[in-house]
Structure 1
């Protein structure tokens, strides 16, 4: 007889011997030594490929009590062998049947801990495979548990999600289709795993509201909140051509359905924006749950208001401005993130809320909510700092949408705030252009607009028609703002006659000259002289060393430029001079218009 065969027969014999000895014992008389011998012999049978024989032993009715008490010890070697026998269908099938039998026969409490231990010990590529393998037996065991069922369900779901969270979320169409680590498939399997417990909560809610039911409900809410943060917060959730059922869209639908079925969807979407905890949180919830809930609630709002998951459940009684108010905190949370997948959700949610509103319908008192000031400032940061051009452009478009929705006092307040806080000449130039547009509307429409004419406009003009550092201001760096200010002033001088003085520009002309026009003229002369000298210097240096093409650096607008040849530096310097010439030509035209109008008025008076 071959040695290997005899060893296996020995292992089976050992197992049978242990079982025969234990068959005559009462449950209470089983010793630790019996458990160890059973585990070693059972493991040997599995590893040597004799899972079919082990299955027979487990299925034997006489061994029911022994398997109930000792079977859970086989979970660890069983999981290893299932992965080991991937290519051997018969052996793998026997192992899977053993797993099913253990779920039916073993002590639920012992088997529950054994299954969780295997999930906890899984890592890397085996995480999803292990979770999907053990979900069914784990569900079977949990449904048998009576005491602490809610706690055990919560522990299982938390353990599973903690194991999945380190895995990268597939984002591109190709990654989602490949599902290399099995995350897409696994997430949807976990939702199916949770369904019997959801149904239990729903049935109990229909009957009464016992304490245990509330516990299980809270565990399910925690699971949904974790799922919203991972994987849904970073997942790509747009419809993808060629993917009939997008796995993450399916998962999102299921999570929304759970929240709806346990009557928590509407309370969570409309959590008060007053810094209070969500209504489902009791004092026992850990601080980390509260912190994590901000991301989860933001993702939930995105799913409902942008992707329209569960939107049919909502009564259509909320005003667009109230929906915006409810979502502004969520928008702020999303816009403060730097990941493209999360940032784009914030922009989409903000845009979706704004598009529901009519222009000029958002009342200025909303700006008393701090978040209504914070969010446009976040947009400015994205517009100026985000490395992705599409995000920068979208942020600018959404900022304009936001401006358009406010009433005139709201626009006025917002402009003042952004001019003081943006610290970016391009953004300031954009806001000044908006101010000019509002003044134009005020001067051409029949109804009174007190915010962009008369004494209210003067403080705004003081902000716009000034140089931050007088004649020492870096004109190149601030050219966008300066050009916008000059164009606004030119418009005011042309459009608003001195006799009407609707905008107050003629009243404050002395201050404008002192704070803006004169220092700008001095600054231009200084800057042009400096740059012309630099050009002359570079040309002379190039003549001296015409045989070589030296590489050196130049400083423009206080920033050191990358190493450039002299020719490249000259191009930069000439470009700066062109900008100064452009500013000077508009300045000259404004001065000419002011002088012409002032002269005409003096002649009329004389």
Structure 2
């Protein structure tokens, strides 16, 4: 009797497995449905499900749930899909979890991904609170799959406004968004359970690895790439108010009908009818993460700690220092780019919940956000750089008082300025360069006067880009001019020793004296000349100390510049004559540099015949004359400004002498 009792469950399990196989072979899908939906029938087979579940998976579900079955036999696929979800309730938890993780990471389509994700939903609920690491592993497999989805190349290279209108009609992007909406459907029951059961009444936040924190990290990880590359609010020339929705009509989903309808209705109900699918997904992820965090600003408080003090890895233990106390400090669990996108959505996208605390000082938020801004600006993709600039602009806009100079003691300001100037000067995206310059201007103006001076002086001494240097020099002039108009004593940064240092060391400078390449530094030189002109005419009373430093300006800058202009003009005109007479040679280093620049432009524009062999095209006679004409025109313009400046200085000097004599 004991032997028969021990073998009976196995026999019944085998019988159940054989029955389901036969019914599938006979295409009796309604009969299979009745087995599990009829209370009376299911009561008889349920005791045998734990023994039969794993065999059902390996012998029925895994071989059947394929793309071929989905295309050729939809009824069979749907029936086995439902069977898999039932199997997930009874299969050995650990072994089945590993199987699902592997299938999710290797899923070849949204149909396969959705099928195994529905089973994972059951497994996540079965895990309970006792094994949070198992939940973390399951969710990590989902993130891994999303990150490996194929995407159009232009997402990483940057896209314009016209492309943005069509983003969601791209098949690859449509497939990616379908994955995100399916993920939302998967974790929602777990989210509900966590919010109801995992309540911590302690005044101290529990930051260890638990179910709630694992889910928080998962949701924020999903906000990183690839979703971050689809932020439509980053599109140039479509600057909307923060939080304003974009109207976008995507093409129909190519998904299973029931999933299409369910995900569509759910997303629409949550986010409103005027939002794009990207924004619907974003809204859901951000809102759910904020509900779990309670205080959405909490992670922002850890950003400085994350950015300034890297966690050390204990190789012997295989864990990061203090990781058992706060998992939010570990980059693998909470990557900073994804965290930056979370706060971009909260602040710029106005998804901050009304219950968010209002006790955080604007200066604290600005400094904390600056770390995240730097992280986004350091990303190679233009869409993420756009997000960084917009987050930066928001953090500046909430300041109610000038930022004190002591804030510059934070290393992040140096890191931020370096990457911002790099984008402003060298980005391939014109919209990024323009927005970067606006943000740089806003950033400098946010500080008190002494800090403004410190930033400008350091940038003028370190930045190499001629256009940015000229802009910064003009900015200093405008700041000094604005204070002069107030008819109050000038700040020490706009007069005396500091004014002298700024003008002589940072503005009125020829890098190589008479031998300087004037065309390469034309913007800087033009702004320096304009500064000399302005102070000569506007500061006859010598409030800034301009007239005290003028002799050195003339000796170090104006006189060498006059000689350099005469030399360069004579040089280029002589070279033009040689070209006209067919006597040009390639041994002129300065001229060859100009010609090479033209050759590179021709190659980049595709006018080189499409050879693409890496060699510069030959420059013909007409192209050389064109380069020379442009160079001579540029030098002539500089000389006109130089002569005008010299005349203004001379006339102002006469007026100043008369004013002194009359006094």
Q: TM-score, normalised by structure 1?
A: 0.82
Paired residue for 1:415?
456
* CA–CA distance in structure 2, aligned partners of residues 118 and 291 of structure 1: 22
Q: What SS does the corresponding residue of 1:564 show, helix, strand or coil?
A: coil
Matches within 5 A, 1:207-222: 215-222=210-217
* CA–CA distance in structure 1, aligned partners of residues 441 and 328 of structure 2: 40
Q: What SS does the corresponding residue of 1:531 show, helix, strand or coil?
A: helix
Matches within 5 A, 1:94-493: 94-123=79-108, 126=109, 128-145=110-127, 148-168=130-150, 172-177=164-169, 180=172, 182-206=175-199, 215-238=210-233, 239-243=245-249, 244=273, 245-263=275-293, 265-274=296-305, 275=308, 282=324, 285=327, 289-290=331-332, 293-357=335-399, 361-450=402-491, 451-463=493-505, 464-493=507-536
Change (3 A) 1:396 1:100: closer
Instruction: Say if 2:633 is the partner of 1:578.
Output: yes
Structure 2 gaps, min length 5: 156-163, 234-244, 250-272, 312-320, 585-589, 600-617
Q: What do residues 141-187 of structure 1 show as CA deviations (whole Å, max 9, x unaligned)?
A: 43334584423322221111111211146874444256556332332
* CA–CA distance in structure 1, aligned partners of residues 7 and 124 of structure 2: 23
Change (3 A) 1:114 1:506: closer
* Greater mean alpha carbon deviation, residues 272-281 or residues 569-578: 272-281
Higher RCO, 1 vs 2 (CA within 8 Å, ≥6 residues apart): 2
* CA–CA distance in structure 2, aligned partners of residues 82 and 324 of structure 1: 51
Change (3 A) 1:36 1:287: farther
**How many correspondences in the alignment?**
567
**Does the 8 Å contact 2:65/2:112 carry over to 1?**
no
**Does the 8 Å contact 1:142/1:153 carry over to 2?**
yes
* CA–CA distance in structure 2, aligned partners of residues 95 and 600 of structure 1: 95
Q: Which has the larger radius of gyration?
A: 1
Question: What's the CA shift for 1:393?
Answer: 1.1
* CA–CA distance in structure 1, aligned partners of residues 281 and 322 of structure 2: 22
Structure 1 gaps, min length 5: 1-22, 545-552
Q: What SS does the corresponding residue of 1:406 show, helix, strand or coil?
A: coil
Q: What do residues 541-582 of structure 1 show as CA deviations (whole Å, max 9, x unaligned)?
A: 18x9xxxxxxxx952459543143312221221221222222
Change (3 A) 1:270 1:36: same
Question: What's the CA shift for 1:241?
Answer: 1.2
Paired residue for 2:267?
none
Q: What do residues 282-304 of structure 1 show as CA deviations (whole Å, max 9, x unaligned)?
A: 35859963585211221111011
Q: TM-score, normalised by structure 2?
A: 0.76
Change (3 A) 1:316 1:142: closer
* CA–CA distance in structure 2, aligned partners of residues 599 and 113 of structure 1: 88
Q: What SS does the corresponding residue of 1:234 show, helix, strand or coil?
A: helix
* CA–CA distance in structure 2, aligned partners of residues 184 and 310 of structure 1: 23
Question: What's the CA shift for 1:62?
Answer: 5.3
RMSD: 3.8
* CA–CA distance in structure 1, aligned partners of residues 596 and 508 of structure 2: 26
**Does the 8 Å contact 2:181/2:281 carry over to 1?**
yes
* CA–CA distance in structure 2, aligned partners of residues 39 and 425 of structure 1: 76
